[in-house]
Structure 1
Amino acid sequence: MTSNFQRIVLAMICLLVTIGSSTNAQDLYATQRQGWLKKAEALKPALTETVKHPKGIVKLEKDPAAFQGWKAVPAGGIEQLYNASFDKRNSGIVVDFGEHLTGYCTFSLKTRRADMDAPLRLKLTFGEIPSELATPFDPYPGSLSRAWLQDETVTVSVLPATIIIPRRVAFRYVKIEWLGASRGFEFGFSDIQFKAVTSVTVTPPALAASTPDIIKDIDRVGLTTLKECMQTVYEDGPKRDRRLWIGDLYLEALANTYSFKNDSLTKRCLYLLAALSNPDGILNSNVFEAPEPHAQKSRLLDYCYLYNVALKEYVIATGDKQTGLDLWPVAKKQLDIARQYAGADGMMDYVKAGKEWWVFFDWKDGLDKQAPLQGSTIYALNQTYQLAKLLGKENEIADVPALSKKLKDAARKNLYDKTSGLFVSGTNKQASYGGQAWMVLSGVATKAEAQKALRTIVTHKDAVKPGGPYMYHYFVAALIETGMHAEAKTALTDYWGGMVNKGADTFWEVYDPADELRSPYNFYPMNSYCHAWSCTPVYFIRKYPEIFQR
């Protein structure tokens, strides 16, 4: 009896050990994750805090020429708020801080007449741009959580009082509305201030004196955008999402390398993403920091590729090969995506990939993704092989050059239309800016073909244009890659300069000059108007001074 019991217990222990070993075997990075997380935590930056005060009062006015139809007009000094009782008559007053800020708002109230005999209630709405404050939020039509919108209701029972809004906000303007108070007393504001936070601690060098004014303005707004998004990770937007996405990391890190040079933040983000990858080794598209680091379980195909490029750029910028070697297994694993969907004919199975993955590339309805996927796959293979050479790891991905050539040859055979000089995509032979950009960046097009394609696409009446700054980055990069420097400068000046000319303090997540109200979320106030992937003019302007600073 005892012997049988002992054998059963021993068998159960063996089974548990086997299961445990099997589980660890299935997690490619089981022995590395905690070490990566510790390294990421050690690199977490301290945030600098700066107290900011309002610059004055503004009035919102309709203006068809203004962005989204609204502008803010100066309407007096802040003393108008501090020297008067606050009631229904001045409800809706808009305070302007004069710049985009991210952090925490504090305001102080005082009794101005009689005794406070009932609570008072206020509503504060924080807006990055004037139209956010002029557009009713309800009934809410958007597809994302209504709670992202930055309106807060505050009830105060005792005066005087100093109120700290616990929620971090990103804004330039705050609208203050009176919701209710007793008629038996009067109250007013004695102070309003803001604690702005960022991990940025340095000021980049000034641009050359020969730089055109519009380029200087674009650089200034780009730097502000990047500064606001550089918190304890590279956030994609300080107002909405507020987490680390691979695609934003890559572009922010490029801009940071040529401006604030906070390489430790890039390193932290690379380790976080690796530590929070899936057990099969494939990366998640984004991760959260709180309440503890964890990933949102979403696999975004083109972002997995960009992790490898970001790691390569980090190693080149810093010379930190040790981090490259530490994270090399993750980069190497992402190439399995290319191997999985590459057909015998050398074409990526974009239909199957689109069913099994989130394949993004751009916020653009109707964009056919065959050409961008083919091009970005070749690009990722080539960039990862460059990383391997930097680290002495070519032998571990010895199949990559041949696979890259196979995909490249197939792209030329199947996607290049010699008659139009354009690369086409999908069964409808769609011509898009994104398709041309990725065929150029991947090296599929010769220099002559690339220049013809990029010149032709801007005049093609049915061309699918970029949906926002994210894809526009790759289009400008393609222009530079193929030597079209004047065209790159014009594209950057026209597109990002268009936002500057419409009053941008920071660059926007989505900008379509033909449709300013466009939103991927069915409600344009939900758009992020300070967004990480929009900051890359900083990278272009400062990396290529011979193009942009003269």
Structure 2
Amino acid sequence: MARHFIIFVLIIFSINGYAQDPYRANRAQWLAQAQQLTPKFNETLKRPVNTVVLVKDAGAFQGWKAQPTDSLTAFYSGSFQKKKQVVLDFGEHITGYVSFSLKLLRGSSDAPTRFKLTFGEVPAELATPFDPYKGGLSRAWLQDEVVTVMDIPETVSIARRLSFRYVKIELMGSSQYFDFAVSDIQCKAVSSVSTKPAPLQASAASDIRAIDSVGLTTLKECMQTVYEDGPKRDRRLWIGDLYLESLANSYSFKNFDLTKRCLYLLAGLSGEKGFLIGTVFEKPEPHPQENQYLMDYAFLYNAALKEYLAATNDTETANDLWPVAKRQLDIIRNYLLPTGMMDYPRANKEWWLFFDWKDGLDREAALQGIAIYTLKQTYDLAKALHKEGELNDVPALIKKMSTAARKNLYDAKTGLVYSGSSKQVSYASQIWLTLSGALSKKESQQALLNVAKQKDALYPGGPYLYHYYVQALISAGLNAEAKATVTNYWGGMVKKGADTFWEVYDPKNEYLSPYGFFPVNSYCHAWSCTPVYFIRKYPEVFQE
């Protein structure tokens, strides 16, 4: 199998004309290494803990809550012909494969029986009609399945892997001449996690413990055969999620082979001229998603490789993948203007610059900041591998770009970073100029404190940028503000009932969706798990 998929990938690269492929001699070995590191699943059988009803509640997340009702014993023994619909609560978020059993109560099954099962990570998913569908992503991401059962008794298995806490079962069609019950429903939960993280300090507060617990569950559910962005959606490897998940993993489950596998997969499936593609698929054969070039994600690969080396001391892997990290710096060189500024208009036209789900965000300052940050991270990696001689121009580039950033983006009078021709003030701009080190510690403190006072400043659109906000606060020595952000933002999700952290969360708008329909959002999302990293890496800040 491994040999077949490697040949398949190499044929694809050949067809697409990778004559100048800088990794031509390495791809087969990298992909073989990734295949060998495919993890085995830890499987656990889960069953529901309650039947519930969905109740409108203006105080609940997205206006709905699940309220316990009858016992499971009554449900399993009672007529489903009469009940016709039930909502079951498994008591926790689960990723896995569902099966259910039916038994006869009266007569013989003289006709097919049809059910609709809808799975939800949060109650509002089950309470919101999916059709007519208004979302910008495929309708098929929504987890509703129609099942026709020809004979009863029967055990039915749903082929699709599901990600849920709640399941609604509806009877769509049956014969009046027999009666039946749902006698069992279970889920074979899967994750590549097989270890338990160390406990927090005894001094850790209850809210920090709750946030850490939800973060660990989020991470566990996303750790499948790769670091998935979300087990419901998109179920694949993205570099941005890999970086944040690997940070959290390093301080919790310590499954470093999964990090290693993902680094090799991304390298082996990198794009034309050796630049990394933002996301890759595992099936039907490992392959990249065409034209998904995210510049900021390509840069973060270098940071992920550096952190992997620091956590494992695996110099063999770091040396093996060093050419990939080194090659990404050519992106910066290619877009660097004589002024020391990145050519933002050209980069924004030719690449996807992500940074955050935030409408109207000007990314010029963030791009300048992450470019400097990447140069520093990669130079640190080079020093750890004794390869700094291969990056002789980098120290001068860092100095030149930092000077240009201060000259063109920073206003010492207001203590703020401004981005673009409109002089936009955003959290993203302050964050990335802080993390780049272009600002002094005092200037970073001023920028991060001042932006919070600006009523019109664009605040982060979701947990992804909030991670970097917390990191910037810690880097600037604003530890109290960092802890408050974690307890208020991620703690806000916990207070609203989250048992895993959400892809998108704006306390001012619970229905926010980048895709135009909130049920298609992922409510267990990798990039949201990083309180685990902060709480465990900085115990003096978060656990005391």
TM-score scaled by length of structure 1: 0.95
Task: Report the residue type matching 1:218 in the other structure.
Answer: I
- Give the alignment partner of residue 338 of structure 1, picking from 329, 332, 341: 332
Q: Does 1:352 align with 2:360?
A: no
- Give the alignment partner of residue 216 of structure 1, picking from 190, 209, 215: 209
The match for 2:8 is: none
Q: Distance in 1 between matches of 2:245 and 2:15?
A: 39
The match for 2:223 is: 230
CA change 1:54–1:24 in 2 (3 A) is closer
Q: Distance in 2 between matches of 1:459 and 1:534?
A: 25
1:72-111 deviation line (CA, Å, top 9, x unaligned): 1111221232011112x52331000000000000100011
SS of residue in 1 equivalent to 2:484: helix
- Give the alignment partner of residue 410 of structure 1, picking from 404, 411, 415: 404
CA change 1:248–1:171 in 2 (3 A) is same
Q: Distance in 2 between matches of 1:110 and 1:83?
A: 9
Q: Distance in 2 between matches of 1:412 and 1:300?
A: 25
Q: Distance in 2 between matches of 1:46 and 1:167?
A: 19
- Give the alignment partner of residue 73 of structure 2, picking from 79, 86, 94: 79
Q: Distance in 2 between matches of 1:50 and 1:25?
A: 47
| More divergent stretch after superposition (33-42 vs 23-32) | 23-32
1:414-462 deviation line (CA, Å, top 9, x unaligned): 1112222110101111111111110100001111111111111111111
SS of residue in 1 equivalent to 2:304: helix
Instruction: Within 5 Å, give how 1:148-227 maps onto structure 2.
Output: 148-227=141-220
Q: How far did residue 397 of structure 1 move?
A: 1.5
The match for 1:51 is: 45
Q: Distance in 1 between matches of 2:300 and 2:539?
A: 25
Q: Distance in 2 between matches of 1:21 and 1:116?
A: 55
Q: Distance in 2 between matches of 1:22 and 1:524?
A: 38
Give the conservation status (yes or no) of the 8 Å contact 1:287–1:293: yes
- Give the alignment partner of residue 444 of structure 1, picking from 438, 447, 466: 438
CA change 1:412–1:83 in 2 (3 A) is same
The match for 2:34 is: 40
Q: Distance in 2 between matches of 1:503 and 1:419?
A: 43
CA change 1:430–1:22 in 2 (3 A) is closer
- Give the alignment partner of residue 390 of structure 1, picking from 378, 384, 394: 384
1:155-192 deviation line (CA, Å, top 9, x unaligned): 00111100000000000000000101011111111111
SS of residue in 2 equivalent to 1:76: coil
Task: Report the residue type matching 2:446 in the other structure.
Answer: K
CA change 1:21–1:285 in 2 (3 A) is closer
CA change 1:477–1:349 in 2 (3 A) is same
CA change 1:424–1:21 in 2 (3 A) is closer
Q: Does 1:498 align with 2:531?
A: no
Give the conservation status (yes or no) of the 8 Å contact 1:70–1:131: yes
Larger radius of gyration: 1
SS of residue in 2 equivalent to 1:72: strand
The match for 1:128 is: 121
1:280-315 deviation line (CA, Å, top 9, x unaligned): 100110111111111112100000000000000001
SS of residue in 1 equivalent to 2:59: coil
The match for 1:17 is: none
- Give the alignment partner of residue 319 of structure 2, picking from 309, 319, 325: 325
Alignment RMSD, CA only?
Answer: 1.2
SS of residue in 1 equivalent to 2:362: coil
Task: Report the residue type matching 1:545 in the other structure.
Answer: P
Q: Percent identity?
A: 63
- Give the alignment partner of residue 245 of structure 1, picking from 224, 235, 238: 238
Q: Does 1:144 align with 2:142?
A: no
Give the conservation status (yes or no) of the 8 Å contact 1:28–1:279: no
Q: How far did residue 349 of structure 1 move?
A: 1.1
Q: Distance in 2 between matches of 1:72 and 1:337?
A: 50
SS of residue in 2 equivalent to 1:26: coil
- Give the alignment partner of residue 254 of structure 1, picking from 226, 247, 254: 247
Give the conservation status (yes or no) of the 8 Å contact 1:53–1:194: yes
Instruction: Within 5 Å, give how 1:62-141 maps onto structure 2.
Output: 62-87=56-81, 89-141=82-134
Task: Report the residue type matching 1:155 in the other structure.
Answer: T
The match for 1:507 is: 501
Q: How far did residue 23 of structure 1 move?
A: 5.4
Q: Distance in 1 between matches of 2:385 and 2:412?
A: 39
- Give the alignment partner of residue 275 of structure 1, picking from 263, 268, 275: 268
1:242-278 deviation line (CA, Å, top 9, x unaligned): 0000000000000000000001100000000000001
SS of residue in 1 equivalent to 2:194: coil
Task: Report the residue type matching 1:239 in the other structure.
Answer: K
Instruction: Within 5 Å, give how 1:282-301 maps onto structure 2.
Output: 282-297=275-290, 298-301=292-295
The match for 1:11 is: none
Q: Distance in 2 between matches of 1:233 and 1:259?
A: 17
| More divergent stretch after superposition (109-118 vs 475-484) | 109-118
Q: Distance in 2 between matches of 1:527 and 1:444?
A: 36
Instruction: Within 5 Å, give how 1:422-501 maps onto structure 2.
Output: 422-501=416-495
Q: Distance in 2 between matches of 1:354 and 1:45?
A: 37
Q: Distance in 2 between matches of 1:356 and 1:105?
A: 43
Q: Distance in 1 between matches of 2:84 and 2:213?
A: 34
**Count of paired positions:** 530
TM-score scaled by length of structure 2: 0.96
Q: Distance in 2 between matches of 1:536 and 1:453?
A: 23
CA change 1:199–1:22 in 2 (3 A) is closer
1:25-62 deviation line (CA, Å, top 9, x unaligned): 41111111010011111111100110011101011011
The match for 1:527 is: 521
Task: Report the residue type matching 2:178 in the other structure.
Answer: F
Give the conservation status (yes or no) of the 8 Å contact 1:29–1:279: no
Q: Distance in 2 between matches of 1:31 and 1:120?
A: 57
The match for 1:6 is: none
SS of residue in 2 equivalent to 1:280: helix
Q: Distance in 1 between matches of 2:278 and 2:225?
A: 18
